[in-house]
Chains A and B, each alone.
Chain A
Amino acid sequence: MPKKDASLKLNRRKFLTAAAVAGASGAVSPASPATAATAAEPQQKLPSALPPNARVAAAEAGVPDVPPYAGEGRPGSDFMVDVIKTLDIKYLPANPASSYRAIHESLINYGKNTMPEFLTCTHEEVGVGIAHGYYKIANKPLMTLCHGTVGLMHATMNIYDAFCDRAPVIVLAGNDMDAAHRSPGVPTVHSAQDINAIVRDYTKWDDTPVSAQHFAQSFVRAYQIATTPPYAPVVISLDDGLATEPVRDYGQKLYIPKFVPTAAPAGEQGAVREAARLLVNAEHPVIVADRAVNTEKGIALLVQLAELLQAPVVRQRGRLNIPNTHYLSRPATVIPQADVILGLELTDYWDTVNKFVDNNAEGVGTNSSRIKPDTKLISISTLQLMTKSNYQEFQRFQSVDVPIAGDVEATLPSLIEAVKYALTDDRKNVAAQRGQAIRKDHDKGRDGTRQAAAIAWDASPISTARLCAEIYGQIKDLDWSLVPSSGDVSGWPLRLWPMDKHYHWTGTSGGYGVGWGCPASVGGALANRDEGRFSVSIQSDGDLMYVPGALWTAARHKIPMLAVMHNNRGYHQEVMHVQRLSNFRNRVANNGNDLGPIGTSIMNPDIEYHKLAESMGWWAKGPIKDPAELGPALKEAVAVVKSGQPALVNVWTQPR
């Protein structure tokens, strides 16, 4: 596809840009390739003084070193790569596309395919999912590139999942805005006036740069916004013309704004003190944590707060939050006893303190309160700082007594200090007595969980409890990580596996979009690979069939991981939903020749996931139906993964 001659091109957009810069500089001289000097290599700077500390450096250095572009003539996408390289972006999982071919070429040739390294993906949803899963383990964002229109459309579901999960992903969407010069046919079909519109409702920020300098500002800004709580995806429209043409500075030296991390928003001190007062004086304080903390430091802070108060912590499924081995980690059954509840970054505060039962034939359901009428509610959350309105991930509105807008990890230190200040000796004694009772409940609960796991121990298909116990038996002596994945196995890993590191459990997809689990697990394993950790995922069958190509990416890029199939041969949530509606309407569900209602089963024929994985370069085994065969199969698979290869074990399981 021939590219446009940049020397002939000065469309209205670029003309306006040039005129604006010229007005500021007093010189109208949009440079032409004829005047462009050969690009010089970056010059080495000699130290002239003692190096400043990090804070001073950040304050003083407005811009990092930038290769001289003053002479112009180099591709715009080379400059874009220089911008990207100033940020700590290690990988770029993406599906290749003509609309971003210019930056693709710059990344792998000019940029030497490092920082970021291009990872070949078979679908845009895979690229975004890998970035999301990587973040949950590494706490660092990745970027991805999407093809114009259709590619971004493919990516949307996993962008939404990342948005709901408050995970930063940097998305560059290829586009070619210049209708007069872009190629007709497919490139035009793949272009849009406002390509970001399709994801604007579920990204935190987006922009459409129209000059190289604009791109530099937008990219660094996008990175900064994405990595400031509340974390979320951002998207930048990448104009093919801008990336392909020689870079222009319009008479002003190009620069790359220095990225300085933004201090996370912490709760206001007065509100924090009031929260501490309520918690300290409560007889039954309960902490509920969802997407609250995802770092070892954050976990330690939450443990410190809980121990000061001797308050049970209910771990919702957004993050690990507190080790499940800690005696203060308790199930949601403690919530009705609470007189004060501290909700930490709750996805759904309403549903935490209320109950909805989907038990009405007309779909209305019943609502009831889970708590006592005078229970005081405190919230620390960034929900109020995210102001998107279309998609309803913010859930029902719940009024709370002390709502605190702020990041949990940033607020915990001041809350801990306020609690220490408010704790009298008398209240310390009350807390200590409370803690003793909680410890007994914890021990009793642990025994009950193990006994529940023993039910159907020898069943075939294999029980989900047995599945998880067998997996843990093979990995328990390793530095393991249950990577983000989709298999809903009734929470057995959280109930049976001792978890005390953030990477032991990093939570769900956020948006519950099917097709997230497999790529997210590969992303998590990618992050773990760099730390030398062993990755295991529990992979559901329905999820895998959305984007199985993520398996190929893992094999292609040598990302070792153990994927254990939770193969219940159905879209099980939907199996149950159609059954419910059949019952409510007093009809016998029509199962056809399947186990579940027509349209919900994945059987006849059964999918041989082990063969699917083998075809894409994985070691694989299955289907395992006899529980006695599971342990040996997993043992083989673990050995393969330890040798650096991905391995999949296809297990026929009970439904949940």
Chain B
Amino acid sequence: MRFVGVYLALSAAFAAGVVNPAAAASVENGKTAFVKNGCWQCHGFEGQGSVTTSAGRVIADTQLPADAFAAYVRKPTGAMPPFSATVLSDSDLADIYAYLEARPKPQAAKDIPLLNQ
């Protein structure tokens, strides 16, 4: 489980104030992997999801830590199909997490006039 190893190492470094884990992984490659592996199909290109496929829990601005995120992708418990390491490498998975972490945070709905009609 290369990804978990990488994550643990990065987490330790992050805790020590050495490195930002999102910066260590490649956001750009994460975007490519996110599209190539079909994540966008259910989750949208920005991880915004849909009511059908995400049941209201979206992966943009995810609160899941990286290891929990990776564990779910490998062995999902809901409707999501599993992504094995054969299909999606650990490094690509780490990059996908970085890509999602790099998504711009949404504005507050109250500040968007069209959502207050």
Chain A interfacial positions (CB closer than 8 Å to B): 357-359, 447-448, 450-459, 461, 463-466, 469-470, 472-473, 476, 488, 490-491, 495-496, 572, 575-576, 579-580, 582-584, 586-589, 591, 595-597, 654-656
Contact = CB atoms under 8 A, between A and B. Distances in A.
16 contacts: A448-B56, A451-B109, A455-B49, A456-B106, A457-B112, A459-B44, A459-B45, A459-B46, A465-B48, A469-B115, A472-B117, A473-B117, A491-B51, A582-B87, A596-B38, A654-B45
B42 interface: yes
B50 A450 contact: no
Given A357-B78, A476-B117, A576 B46 contact: no
Q: Chain B CB within 10 Å — which of A457, A464, A473 has the most?
A: A457
Contacts of A596: 38, 41
A455 B81 contact: no
Interface string B14-27: 00000000000000
B87 A575 contact: no
B67 interface: no
A464 B50 contact: yes
A111 B75 CA distance: 67
Describe B's contact surface by its main secondary structure: loop
Interface string B85-117: 011000000000000000110111110101111
Contact of A583 (B58, B83, B106): B83
A455 B86 contact: no
Nearest to B42: A576
Interface in B29-62: 35-38, 40-42, 44-53, 56, 58, 60-61
B79 interface: yes
Interface residues of B, number: 43
B36 A579 contact: no
Contacts of A463: 44, 46, 48
A118 B35 CA distance: 48
B60 A455 contact: yes
A450 B48 contact: no
A496 B109 CA distance: 12
Q: Chain A CB within 10 Å — which of B86, B109, B112 has the most?
A: B109
B103 to A, nearest CB: 8
A452 B46 contact: no
Contacts of B50: 464, 490, 655-656
B108 A454 contact: yes
Given A459-B46, A588-B87, A473 B52 contact: no
B104 to A, nearest CB: 8
Contact of B106 (A357, A455, A575): A455
Q: Chain A CB within 10 Å — which of B41, B60, B86 has the most?
A: B41
Q: Chain B CB within 10 Å — which of A488, A495, A586, A587 has the most?
A: A586
Given A357-B79, A359-B79, A451-B109, A587 B87 contact: yes
A589 B87 CA distance: 9
B82 A583 contact: yes
Q: Chain B CB within 10 Å — which of A448, A455, A495 has the most?
A: A455
A583 B46 CA distance: 21
A579 B81 contact: yes
A586 B87 contact: yes
Q: Chain B CB within 10 Å — which of A496, A584, A655 has the most?
A: A655
Contact of B41 (A447, A466, A576, A584): A576
Contacts of B53: 576, 656
Contacts of A447: 109
A450 B117 contact: no
Given A470-B114, A654-B45, 7 more contacts: A357-B78, A455-B61, A459-B46, A466-B114, A576-B42, A583-B87, A655-B50
Given A454-B106, A454-B109, A587-B87, A580 B115 contact: no
Contact of A457 (B36, B49, B106): B106
Complex A-B, nearest 8 residue pairs according to Cβ-Cβ distance, in ascending order: A583-B81, A456-B46, A656-B50, A450-B109, A490-B50, A456-B48, A455-B48, A579-B38
